[in-house]
Amino acid sequence: MIDINGMAHVILTVSQFEKAEPFYGRLMPALGMRNVFSGPNMSYFVGARTALGIQPCAPEHAAERFVQSRVGLHHICLRARTREDVDAVTDLLREMDAPIIRGACDGHRAPGYHYVFFEDPDGIRLEVNFVPGQGVLAEDASFNPGGDYD
């Protein structure tokens, strides 16, 4: 059996790099991720055993925006260590005037699930959540995909 050790990185291609760079430049350090590279064609943040990069799209796609229901990425979820961290992210997003789809609330995906669901300048959906204990891997838990990500 191969034993994967988490997700190494995600690279997002954005149509509004000039807006996405300051958005992620403020959000990622607040989440404990350090900007290790920033240039005209990429910004790359590392921390919490993962990395996230953003890069501009090809010029012919510059007028497009993210569509969550298309084939490909639905959303990215970063795991917080506490419920209070999720609440703090919600406060930061409000300061940033980020589009918040669902502000810090309890969900039904797993026992104790607490999350905030929001968008970046391109409409790419992101989530920060906290799940206590073993989450859906707990012996008495079940996964409930529900529909609150629409």
DSSP 62-106: TT----TTSSS---EEEE-SSHHHHHHHHHHHHHTT--EEEEEEE
Residue 108: what pLDDT?
76
Largest pairwise CA distance in the chain:
50
pLDDT in tens, 67-99: 988 889 989 999 999 999 999 999 999 999 999
Eight-state DSSP code of residue 121: T
What superfamily would CATH give domain 1-62?
Answer: 2,3-Dihydroxybiphenyl 1,2-Dioxygenase, domain 1 (3.10.180.10)
Q: What is the CATH number of domain 73-150?
A: 3.10.180.10
pTM of the model: 0.88
